[in-house]
Amino acid sequence: MEREQNWSPVQGGAWLLRRALLGVATLLMISVVVFLGTQALPGDPAIAILGRDAAPDRVELLRQQLGLNVPVIQQYFNWLSGILHGDFGRSLASRRAVSGLLATRGLNSLLLVGLSAAICIPVSLALGGWSAMRRDKPADLSVWVLTTVLTALPEFIVGMVLVILFATTVTRLLPAVSMIPEGESPFYYASAFILPALTLVLATLPYLTRLFRGSMIEVLQADYVEMARLKGVMERRVVLRHAVPNALIPTVQGSALVLTYMAGGIVVVEYLFRFPGLGSALTDAIANRDLPVIQAIAVIQAALYVVVNLLADYLTIRLTPRLRTSHG
């Protein structure tokens, strides 16, 4: 995992608004990049749908239906306005509406990432905090060893090992393949989430654990923590009331990073478990050269990045009185 981004505290509310506008600008830029990038690909979508030997008149008709006969800029705006109305076009492979195709998969992925984050963040905080408070002691060292080893293992290895341990060779407690029928509530298939989520958690845990450990160590050395101790405050309270709230602040940005990392991590993890989500949809779409699906997923992931970061900024401001109430 990577390090915390540098956080430059600027005035709270106005700054947040500026970030939100920037986020929109970023999204627009991303949509341009995605659109032009996929435009640059060789091949004609109409021919891709109808096949190489399709009658020219039918190709022409489809080109008209797909809006391919207007200038590229016009196409871009049509596409963009489609997205804004929730219409991502039609899949070249399955000829279904992309939005419908990705709706349940998006929900599955969202649940997967949400579940992973819901496990990863508290566990990281507990491990990191525990480790920080026992700095340089055996407990700290063992956490260090664990996180270092986990960092060194690519997530596909972690996933493979989990499958062997829990789904096939050693025990058969959990499903090795995440089979969630489309249209059925993923909540009935909770077991299908466990191994993919665990893989994502193990992939991101080291980063967040270390981040929070570092943050806690820094805070535990802060003057106000020493001051609290010198006031006679109980150690438990020193940690929970004085250290943790301040140590959490960089962790918010770190968690955002973890979330956006998971958004990429699902590509490998979903592939590994055949989990019906956006990640496996992306690998499928790439194999099928299914442009509208690729475009849609790229835009959705970018949007997620923007939203998560915005949320993190908002939370950071909420958690940092200096940013929240700066008026002097």
Partner 1 sequence: MAVGTAMVALVIGVAVLGPMLAPHTPTQFVQRPYALPSAKALLGTDGLGRDVLSRVLNGGFSVLWMSLAATAIGAALGTTIGLVAGYSRSIIDDVLMWLTDVVLAFPQVVLVLLFVSMLGPQLWLIVLVVSISHAPRVARMVRGVTIEIVNQPFIEAAETIGVPTRDILLRELLPNLVTPLMVEIGLRMTWSIGIVAGISFLGFGIQPPASDWGLMISENRDGLILQPFGVLAPLAMIAVFTIGTNLLAEAISRSASNIGDVSPNT
Partner 2 sequence: MNDFRDRREYMRELISRRRLLVMGAAAGVGLAVQPNIAALAQTPKKGGRLRIGMSQGGPTDTLDAHRVTNQADFARAFNLYDLLAWPNAETFELEMRLAESAEPNKAGDEWTVRLRKGVTFHNGKSLGADDLMFTVRRMMDPQSKLSAAAMIAYVDAKGMTKLDDRTVRFKLPKPNAEFLSGFATTTSSIVPADFDPANPVGTGPFKYKSFTPGDRSLFVANTSFWGGGPFVDELEIIDIADETARVNALLGGQVDAIASIPYTRIATVEGDASFKLLRSETGGWRPFTMRTDAPPFDNPKVREAMRLVVDREQMVEQALLGEGRVGNDLYNPFDPDFAKDLPQRKQDIERAKALLKEAGHDTLDIELVTAPVNAGVVEASQVLVEQAKAAGINIKLRKLDPSSFFGPDYLKYTFAVDNWSPTNSYLVQVAQADGPGAVYNETHFNDPEFNDLFSKAQQEVDAAKRKELIQKMQKIQYERGGYIIWGFANQIDAYSSKLAGFRPDRNGLPLTSFEFERVFFT
Partner 3 sequence: MNVVEVDRLNVEVSRTRARVARDVCFEIEAGKILALVGESGSGKTTVAMALLGHTRRGATITGGTVRLAGADILSLDRDSLRAMRGRDVSYIPQNPGIALNPSQRVGRQVAEVLETHGIGLPEKRRERVAAALQDVALPSDDAFLNRYPHELSGGQQQRLMIAMAFIAKPRAIVLDEPTTGLDILTQAHVLSTIRDMCRRHKVCALYITHDLAVVAEIADSVMVMLKGEIVEVGDKDQVLHRPAHRYTRSLLAAAPDITAFKASKGSARAEPLADKAKLAVLSGKNLSKSFGRLQVLHGLNFELRSGEVLALVGQSGSGKTTLGRSLMGLSGGCSGEIRFKGDLLPAALFDRSNDQRRTLQYIYQNPHASMNPRRTIAENVSSPFQHFFGMSRRDAHRRSVDLLAELSLPKSIADAFPREISGGECQRASIARALACSPDVIICDEITSALDVSVQASIIKLLQDLSRERGLALLFITHNIALVASIADSVAVMQGGTIVDYGPTARVLGEPRHPYTIELIEKTPSVSLSRR
- Interface residues with partner 3 (CB under 8 A) are 221-224, 226-235, 237, 241-242, 245-246, 249, 319-322, 325-326, 328
| Contact between residue 27 and residue 306 where contact means Cβ atoms under 8 Å apart | yes
Q: Which of 66, 69, 91 is nearest to 79 (CA)?
A: 66
Q: Which does 93 bind (CB under 5 to 8 A by kind): partner 2, partner 1, partner 3, none?
A: partner 2
CA 12, CA 315: separation in Å to the nearest integer? Answer: 11
Residue 242 Cβ vs partner 1, minimum distance, rounded to whole Å? 20
Q: Which does 320 bind (CB under 5 to 8 A by kind): partner 3, partner 1, partner 2, none?
A: partner 3
Alpha helices in 238-290 (DSSP H): 244-273, 278-287
Chain positions contacting partner 2, by CB under 8 A: 51-54, 91, 93-94, 96, 101, 163, 167-169, 172, 174-177, 179, 181-183, 271-274, 276, 283-285, 287-290, 293
Q: Which does 179 bind (CB under 5 to 8 A by kind): partner 2, partner 3, partner 1, none?
A: partner 2
Residue 142 Cβ vs partner 3, minimum distance, rounded to whole Å? 22
Residue 156 Cβ vs partner 2, minimum distance, rounded to whole Å? 10
Query: What letter would DSSP give residue 187?
Result: G
| Contact between residue 26 and residue 306 where contact means Cβ atoms under 8 Å apart | yes
Q: Which residues contact 283 (CB under 8 A, 6 or more apart)?
A: 267, 270, 271
Nearer to partner 1, 10 or 234 (CB): 10
- Pattern of binders to partner 1 over 28-47, x per CB under 8 A? -xx--x---x--xx------
Alpha helices in 134-222 (DSSP H): 138-152, 155-166, 190-220
Binding partner 1 (rule: CB under 8 A), the pick from 83, 143, 302, 323 is: 302
| Contact between residue 169 and residue 114 where contact means Cβ atoms under 8 Å apart | no
Binding partner 1 (rule: CB under 8 A), the pick from 75, 78, 94, 151 is: 151
**DSSP string of 217-232, one letter each residue:** HHHHTSHHHHHHHHTT
Burial class of residue 310 (count of CB atoms within 10 Å of its CB; 0-12, 13-18, 19+): middle
Q: Which does 273 bind (CB under 5 to 8 A by kind): partner 2, partner 1, partner 3, none?
A: partner 2
Q: Establish if 218 lies at the interface with partner 1 (CB under 8 A).
A: yes
Residue 291 Cβ vs partner 3, minimum distance, rounded to whole Å? 48
CA 301, CA 26: separation in Å to the nearest integer? Answer: 13
Nearer to partner 1, 159 or 186 (CB): 159
Q: Establish if 172 lies at the interface with partner 1 (CB under 8 A).
A: no
Q: Which of 273, 268, 280 is nearest to 176 (CA)?
A: 273
Residue 320 Cβ vs partner 3, minimum distance, rounded to whole Å? 7
CA 30, CA 51: separation in Å to the nearest integer? Answer: 31
| Contact between residue 296 and residue 280 where contact means Cβ atoms under 8 Å apart | no
Nearer to partner 3, 150 or 249 (CB): 249
Q: Which does 9 bind (CB under 5 to 8 A by kind): partner 1, partner 3, partner 2, none?
A: none
Q: Is the dihedral of CA 307, 313, 319, 321 positive or negative?
A: negative
| Contact between residue 270 and residue 280 where contact means Cβ atoms under 8 Å apart | yes
Nearer to partner 3, 46 or 219 (CB): 219
Nearer to partner 1, 5 or 325 (CB): 5
Residue 209 Cβ vs partner 2, minimum distance, rounded to whole Å? 29
